[in-house]
């Protein structure tokens, strides 16, 4: 994403790429994903302490840089290029906008300074067993228990849940449906009654977890805003998260296009480099068109995220465009690389797996197209998403 960026924004992107070229190599990624943790603790601390990434979009009063969403998207784009094995997206792309969107000063004062310093790694519990986008399948219920509240339920498909020490949970009040009755809860992952199980998933670079809540008792201090009134904060979180995920996907698509172009210039077949064959040229051209279209959609979205009436529409446009571009480019990369593209030793399969899983995390492209149609008034679909 480099459309009309300021000199300062270009410098942020350049420094991020330099950092990841050193700290985000393929060898280091594989070491992290094959470790017991499944993520790179040293890299995470360097992001927080040396680079100051965790404070990019946080207010200055909490120790952040208070830059903005463009800078945050630039960081996600660069981490998408290297498939960074760290809970950056779950922390900055989802949890941070949830905490900021709710406007609860007490919660923000409690968690954001520690988040900026790298002490907090967050995971967001968004969906239940079906994995359907909100508000259809909130993972937990919340009910009054004495002077506090009780959480019960199970969150599935929680990104980097096993690495988190802060959980942001979407919970539904009893006898409610749709967006009504949804709450946001922020609590320590070690709270009594919480069980975290890391699960096997397609993408080894960004593990998923299943988190169970068995009569977890919390007090009012854990509620991010009024109980049952979290719709604006949740919608904000989903819009920002979709755009940051789209930035990651754009970075991944850019990288596999570069990998394919480099390989096409080197691989010789029938006495010619394969890049001279028309079929390869056409495939690379199609990949480039997909990347540039996705870049335009992302640039448009990130600049309109702060416009309430446009927020969800532009996020969905970027989500659909970048998802499809990454999936197309990752699949074509394997084909262009031929036999080597199918091997474990080559990174092509890691990008393909990330592309496939990312395309479902916050809704498939079809879901995003439905959102665009609804926001533009082009459909009368009456479902639980409305």
Supply the DSSP string of 32-100, one letter for each residue: HHTSSSSS-HHHHHIIIIIS-GGGTTS-GGGT-----HHHHHHHHHHHHHHT--STHIIIIIIIHHHHH
Pairs from 196-204 (Cβ < 8 Å, separation ≥ 24): 196/161, 196/162, 197/162, 198/38, 198/161, 198/162, 201/357, 202/353, 202/356, 202/357, 203/350, 203/353, 203/354, 203/356, 203/357, 203/358, 204/33, 204/34, 204/38, 204/350, 204/353
3-state DSSP assignment of residue 209: strand
Q: Decide: residue 246, CB within 10 A, 0-12 exposed, 13-18 middle, 19+ buried.
A: buried
Residue with the two structure tokens 């532009």: 314
Task: Please give the DSSP secondary-structure letter assigned to residue 385.
Answer: T
Instruction: List 167's β-bridge partners, or say none.
Output: 123, 187
3-state DSSP assignment of residue 350: helix
pLDDT recorded at residue 66: 86
CA 147 to mean position of chain CA atoms: 35
User: Count of CB atoms within 10 A of residue 378's CB?
Assistant: 9
Q: Which two tokens stand for residue 219?
A: 């007090």
Sequence-distant (≥ 6) Cβ neighbours of residue 74 within 8 angstroms: 1, 5, 9, 12, 13, 16, 247
In our burial notation (b when 16+ CB lie closer than 10 A, e otherwise), range 116-142 reads bebebbbbbbbbbeeeebbbebbbbbb
Phi, psi torsion values for 168, nearest 5 degrees: -110, 120
pLDDT digits (tens, 9 = 90+) for 68-101: 999 999 999 999 999 999 999 999 999 999 999 8
pLDDT < 70 regions, the chain: 1-3, 379-386
Residue with the two structure tokens 């019960």: 152
pLDDT recorded at residue 342: 85
* Contact by Cβ (8 Å): 40, 86: yes
All domains of the chain in start order, with CATH: 7-119 (1.10.540.10), 124-222 (2.40.110.10), 231-375 (1.20.140.10)
Query: Per 3-state DSSP, what percentage of the chain is helix, strand, and coil (rounded to 5)?
Result: 55, 15, 30
Report the distance separating Cα 218 and Cα 146, nearest Å.
11
Report the distance separating Cα 13 and Cα 24, nearest Å.
15
Pairs from 282-286 (Cβ < 8 Å, separation ≥ 24): 283/332, 283/335, 283/336, 284/257, 284/260, 284/336, 286/328, 286/332
Geometric angle at alpha carbon 281, from 276 and 286, rounded to 5°: 170
Rounded to a whole number, what is the distance in angstroms from the first to the last CA of the chain? 31
Instruction: List 196's β-bridge partners, or say none.
Output: 211
Report the distance separating Cα 83 and Cα 13, nearest Å.
16
* Contact by Cβ (8 Å): 221, 108: no
Geometric angle at alpha carbon 302, from 299 and 307, rounded to 5°: 130
Can you list the positions of beta strands (E) in 160-244?
Answer: 166-173, 182-188, 194-199, 208-218
CA 47 to mean position of chain CA atoms: 17
pLDDT recorded at residue 382: 43
pLDDT recorded at residue 384: 46
């Amino acid at each position: 994403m480099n459309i009309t960026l300021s000199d300062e924004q270009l410098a942020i992107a350049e420094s991020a790429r330099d950092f990841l070229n050193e700290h985000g190599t393929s060898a280091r990624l594989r070491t992290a994903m094959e470790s017991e943790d499944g993520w790179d603790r040293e890299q995470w601390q360097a992001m927080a302490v040396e680079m100051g990434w965790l404070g990019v979009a946080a207010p200055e009063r909490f120790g952040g840089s208070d830059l903005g969403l463009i800078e945050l998207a630039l960081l996600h784009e660069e981490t998408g290029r290297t498939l960074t094995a760290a809970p950056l997206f779950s922390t900055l792309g989802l949890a941070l906008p949830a905490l900021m969107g709710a406007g609860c000063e007490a919660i923000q004062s409690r968690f954001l300074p520690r988040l900026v310093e790298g002490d907090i790694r967050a995971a967001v519990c968004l969906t239940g067993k079906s994995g359907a986008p909100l508000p259809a399948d909130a993972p937990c219920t919340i009910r009054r228990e004495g002077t506090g509240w009780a959480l019960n339920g199970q969150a599935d498909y929680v990104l980097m849940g096993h690495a988190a020490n802060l959980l942001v949970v979407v919970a539904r009040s009893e006898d409610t449906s749709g967006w009504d009755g949804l709450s946001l809860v922020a609590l320590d992952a070690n709270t009594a009654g919480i069980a975290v199980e890391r699960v096997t998933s397609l993408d080894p670079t960004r593990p998923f977890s299943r988190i169970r809540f068995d009569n977890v008792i919390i007090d009012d201090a854990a509620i991010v805003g009024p109980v049952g009134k979290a719709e604006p904060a949740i919608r904000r979180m989903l819009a920002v998260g979709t755009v940051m995920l789209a930035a990651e996907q754009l970075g991944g698509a850019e990288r596999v296009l570069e990998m394919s172009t480099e390989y096409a210039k080197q691989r010789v077949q029938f006495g010619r480099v394969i890049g001279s064959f028309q079929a390869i040229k056409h495939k690379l051209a199609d990949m480039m068109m997909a990347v540039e279209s996705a870049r335009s959609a992302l640039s448009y979205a990130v600049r309109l995220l702060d416009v309430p009436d446009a927020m969800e529409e532009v996020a969905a446009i970027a989500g659909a465009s970048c998802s499809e571009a990454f999936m197309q480019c990752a699949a074509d990369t394997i084909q262009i690389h031929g036999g080597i593209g199918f091997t474990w030793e080559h990174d092509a399969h890691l990008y393909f797996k990330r592309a496939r899983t990312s395309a479902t995390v916050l809704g498939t492209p079809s879901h995003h197209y439905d959102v665009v149609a609804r926001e533009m008034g082009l459909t009368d679909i009456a479902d639980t998403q409305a």
